[in-house]
Structure 1
């Protein structure tokens, strides 16, 4: 989905001078080259007049310090002045673009249906997207070590676009865009001769995306590497309909298929100078795997998937702890009955849907060196608010915090609790999945490592010290 969005933004940036109907083509082109040059790009194109219209063709973009093109666009942009002093940009025929990288790859893109209106002054442009729909197609081919090859093809149809871009010579450029995607389809193929093949097809429909982005006026790669956060969108929201992913893998052992379906899903991203937050929520996921392995197809379904990620909104100039947080919720995880039948044909184990929840935060020291480069320091801390899993009629959870001094040195306390543990162990024994002697050993050792705090509920305190020792409820196990 990002390729047509970025290409649309690139096109509007290229044609920003057309908003200035009173300027000469040379003056207008200077505005374009200035905006791109401030961001590290050099623009080359053929210009000609068609009556009052300006036609640009054979566009090529270069990094300022490189002679080889980064992108070549084959096609024309028509910029027609209007009676009220604005300019309408149209693409009369599909654009074909090619990108060039250091890897042995060929990338081609087709883009059609774009139309925009430009208003403003020589110093400030307002660009409004008028397109009812935009269609794009891309093909990326990569030659790996012979005879391996990979190819990715995408087809996208967008409808109901609403967007505005502000372009000023003396300020940062801003982009606000709303996009409704009617359909999206991608196909990825990988082959290594006749021994190995891998195909994946993705289909997505009914997508609504909103984007707000501020592009810094002076783009500096060194500054970007040291602090990339100002170049990220300030807001990004996406609402998508059902998604279907189908894959096929073939090798000498046979052929396998993978099908993954999801229901509606949402993605929300916000960035402030202090924090960045990414939230994702989806429902009704199903996975099916069929292959040459013996046994029935493997299948799994899930009622809900939720994720949360929080990061600092900037890299500090001085020594400071960077705090990140991550959360995940998986609800209603269910295995297919034919999967259960492989190890529990007599239905002795509970078939309750499984649930998993995780909430943790981490803090890591960071500092800038004399050259301005940001580096992470040693050590840090992880606080586990909760990790809990309920399945097979039992529930376990873990919480606490650990302070790390290096990779192998840590200290702190963790609280582990389990409910329904013994009934689950007995069910596993009855199903033939645990030998009786193992069950007896667990019953004998459990009082030494866990405290009974309620009916069928046990709790343990796990303590780690910096010298590497580990104790559980006061009993040293390491």
Structure 2
């Protein structure tokens, strides 16, 4: 997949990009040279047939090749683009003439395993791309009324797989993109892209069984903003080396809504259908010396499923579903940030699901919320992205890092008439691995508040879901770990670990 991401990050400049007013005349040869430089810095070897005319360069059979590392199976990845023309406009800009229809041929030739060739048709309606600026400081602007990518065929070790087995069809409307690239000690790239709508249709039918999968969907109001710094010369298959050379990238992707319908059938897992809609989605990812950030969320989610393994249809909705994590990637003598968060806001299930365990509606069916937000400090003691150091870690019983601090920014669970909230801070002593059986000794506290616990226990007993003796045990535990708070049916708890490794609940030692 990393090879394919290189392909589309590189060939997006080769198939999707026009410009502002130029301050100096730009030549077709200079733009073509910039393309080649960009592809080379992205890790591709570039070959092409070119014909240089008066104010133009005609490029055909442009071939981008990348040698794969051993971790990816060795061999090479290759993509061939048919024709692109660079034509000076007489106003200091250069038009990049893209074919209305072209076929991208990609091939994977690993040292071991199957040789694979993929042919993808790419069609554009009224494409317009222009480059402006000066060599080393260029702006590309691209627009098209529509574009379509369709899988034409896949050949595996000489055997062709047709659309009746594998299908991928993506249609886009009203595309616009501006890319600015400057070259210094690093190549800096920034881009803004909008697409009014995307419709996709994919399917797979296993020719050796009855397994199948079909999915159709759409997204509206796509917007992508991205920035990056790419080393001029670096081993693109060694991410650690690229980070050392200054590589960083950040992308924000949003939509204003989407939907999909899918169906599947499996000899082992049964069959089913599902459909979902959302009012929007957001995806943020960044990578650089500060680490890897991944943040994805959806709003206004409605999901319906029907599975042969379950007797009832499943339906649920949520105002927001999201997850976020941040992790350091490189060795450092300084503490680095990390974090993880999960959000499930205003989650509701259908009455059909509720009736499975609460047929008489004794439990409140208000939308539920779950939030867990943690952050902290840690040290990475090895460059685990370096293949050589990763091999050492695999063979040696070595601790790859240190946990130094954890902050519980927020804990919230609000469901079935009860609500738990909390926050806290802990630091960790990595020189003391004895007090907590190999875990660095923590020191700190977490404050918790529970509202409605006793009322919930009473309802569960009344529904015969919780035996009376277990309910009594739960109340005894609450009495041990919590004290009455302000308000009806409210409990507070402060769990501490002191500098001696003692664990206390509301000042009373429990360990």
Q: TM-score, normalised by structure 1?
A: 0.80
| 1:245-277 deviation digits (Å, cap 9, x = unpaired) | 524243357422233322223345678976876
The 2-side partners of 1:246 and 1:264 are apart by 19
What SS class does the counterpart of residue 242 from structure 1 fall into?
Answer: strand
**1:44 shift after superposition:** 0.9
Q: Which ranges in structure 1 are unaligned for 5 or more consecutive residues?
A: 14-18
The 2-side partners of 1:285 and 1:446 are apart by 36
Corresponding residue to 2:197 among 174, 182, 189? 182
In the other structure, the counterpart of 1:60 is 63
1:339 partnered with 2:350? no
The 1-side partners of 2:410 and 2:359 are apart by 34
Corresponding residue to 1:460 among 493, 499, 509? 493
Distance change (3 Å), C-alpha of 1:424 and 1:347: same
**1:425 shift after superposition:** 0.7
| 1:269-307 deviation digits (Å, cap 9, x = unpaired) | 678976876655532112222122353212211122345
Corresponding residue to 1:411 among 431, 435, 442? 442
The 2-side partners of 1:4 and 1:179 are apart by 16
1:420 partnered with 2:436? no
1:81 partnered with 2:84? no
Distance change (3 Å), C-alpha of 1:442 and 1:83: closer
1:217 partnered with 2:228? no
The 2-side partners of 1:293 and 1:394 are apart by 32
What SS class does the counterpart of residue 183 from structure 1 fall into?
Answer: strand
**1:411 shift after superposition:** 2.7
In the other structure, the counterpart of 2:406 is 382
Q: TM-score, normalised by structure 2?
A: 0.76
Corresponding residue to 2:147 among 134, 149, 173? 134
In the other structure, the counterpart of 2:321 is 305
2:236–2:242 CA contact under 8 A, matched in 1:
no
Distance change (3 Å), C-alpha of 1:352 and 1:57: same
1:289 partnered with 2:321? no
| 1:74-104 deviation digits (Å, cap 9, x = unpaired) | 4211223323343211222422223333363
| 1:309-354 deviation digits (Å, cap 9, x = unpaired) | 5566x857x5011112333332211110011111111111111111
RMSD of aligned alpha carbons: 4.3
1:363–1:381 CA contact under 8 A, matched in 2:
yes
Alignment of 1:2-81 (within 5 A): 7-11=11-15, 32-48=35-51, 53-63=56-66, 70-81=77-88
2:217–2:258 CA contact under 8 A, matched in 1:
no
1:398–1:415 CA contact under 8 A, matched in 2:
yes
1:439 partnered with 2:471? yes
In the other structure, the counterpart of 2:20 is none
The 1-side partners of 2:42 and 2:270 are apart by 50
Corresponding residue to 1:96 among 97, 103, 107? 103
Deviation larger for 340-349 or 64-73: 64-73
1:124–1:169 CA contact under 8 A, matched in 2:
no
Q: Which ranges in structure 2 are unaligned for 5 or more consecutive residues?
A: 18-22, 394-399
Corresponding residue to 2:259 among 243, 253, 256? 243
Distance change (3 Å), C-alpha of 1:398 and 1:100: farther
What SS class does the counterpart of residue 13 from structure 2 fall into?
Answer: helix
What SS class does the counterpart of residue 402 from structure 2 fall into?
Answer: coil
Paired residues in the alignment total 466
In the other structure, the counterpart of 1:16 is none
2:63–2:79 CA contact under 8 A, matched in 1:
yes
Distance change (3 Å), C-alpha of 1:443 and 1:62: closer
Distance change (3 Å), C-alpha of 1:287 and 1:464: farther
Distance change (3 Å), C-alpha of 1:403 and 1:259: farther
Corresponding residue to 1:208 among 223, 244, 255? 223
1:263–1:285 CA contact under 8 A, matched in 2:
yes
**1:160 shift after superposition:** 3.8
